[in-house]
Amino acid sequence: MDRIKSMQAFSAVVSEGSFAAAAEKLNTSSQLVSKYVAQLEDYLGVRLLNRTTRKINLTEVGQQYAANVKQLLEQIAEIEHRVGAMHTETSGQLRISAPVSFAISHLSGMISDFQTDYPQVTVDLQLNDRKVDILHEGFDIALRIGHLKNSSLIGKFIAPVHLKFYAAPSYLKEFGTPQHPKELAEHRRLIYSYSENDGSEIMGYWFKNLDTQSKLPMVSNNGDVLVQAAVAGHGIALQPTFIAQQACNEGKLVSILNEHAPPSMGLYAVYAHRKLLPRKIRAFLDFSEGYFGNPPVWDS
């Protein structure tokens, strides 16, 4: 038995004054209305209406109940309306986790463009290079750079991310320019903390013999810092183009070993579920689609 339907039926009978009129109002048959009210009475164990074939009279209990039910139904409608509005209005807070360097260099512009399109959405942008647990930490979307792993999360591809080896001309002048990745093991490498050895040949060379302290002048969890170190001539950095390309264009860095670049990665928007996605999230995903162009702005 659907108690809410029963209540609606009862309420309609009370306000319309007859079963037939109530049925019309609710677009159903009088028989069904009669059944509903009878069910409600059975459930409550109370007679709500004294009815002859011609007239309807509320019992004492029925009067009280009718008043309460009317209020209740209005409340339910109000609540559901609010929920519906929240869902369709494309509003609310959108919590995004993003990698630090990418966010600083390219995301801030995108977010502000997004907000001019959707002023009702408040963005809470948390910069963090960790792999956050978006469910547990309450994020709607996490932007991640890398390859997508199997998980219950969905990842939407936003833009390709290419890694290149960079070094300052001064460094190359002093230590020579490696012609093949296997020479990397002999160079001073600027390592990004969260980078992973994905098992590819090129990454094997990159991480080779890192225990030799002299070859490892710097480790950081921030790419910009590493790029600056490279610019200062402290070593070779393996960094995404969106971080280092500008310095390269300015002549402060040179990209090397371009024929042996690691497999290209992607910028992904990772989110939690597949159906009944809140509008604000849908909107952000759609907005991000193609925003950076292909090839992306930082590569052209």
CB of 122 to a copy of itself, least distance (A): 11
> Which residues are paired to 252 by β-bridges?
none
124 binds a copy of itself (CB under 8 A): no
Instruction: Return the beta strands (E) in the chain as ranges.
Output: 49-51, 56-58, 92-98, 121-127, 141-146, 154-161, 163-167, 189-192, 218-220, 236-240, 254-256, 265-271
Q: Exactly one of 32, 72, 172, 219 binds a copy of itself (CB under 8 A); which one?
A: 72
CB of 143 to a copy of itself, least distance (A): 18
Among 64-72, 109-117, 182-190, 234-242, the segment contacting a copy of itself (CB under 8 A): 64-72
Q: At what angle do helices 30-44 and 3-16 cross, to 10 degrees?
A: 110
**Which residues between 142 and 201 bind DNA (CB under 7 A)?**
150-152
**Which residues between 104 and 133 bind DNA (CB under 7 A)?**
133
For residue 245, CA distances in Å to 68, 139, 206, 241, 298 come to 68, 30, 20, 5, 7
CB of 8 to DNA, least distance (A): 11
> Which residues are paired to 219 by β-bridges?
191
Q: Token pair 């994020």 is at which residue?
A: 139
Kindly write out the interface string for residues 241-280 of this chain, putting x where it contacts a copy of itself by CB under 8 A and - elsewhere. Answer: -------------------------------xx-xxxx--
Q: Exactly one of 25, 32, 148, 154 binds DNA (CB under 7 A); which one?
A: 32
Burial 75-110 (b: 16+ CB within 10 A, else e): eeeeeeeeeeeeeeebbbebbbbbbebbbebbbeeb
Q: Which is nearer to DNA, 36 or 165 (CB)?
A: 36
| C-alpha 293 chain-centroid distance | 20
Residue 149 binding: pick among DNA, a copy of itself, none (C-beta 5-8 Å cut-off by kind): none
Q: For binding to a copy of itself (CB under 8 A), which residues are involved?
A: 1-4, 41-42, 44-47, 50, 52, 55, 57, 59-61, 64-65, 68-69, 72, 75-76, 79-80, 82-84, 86-87, 92-93, 135-136, 138, 152, 272-273, 275-278
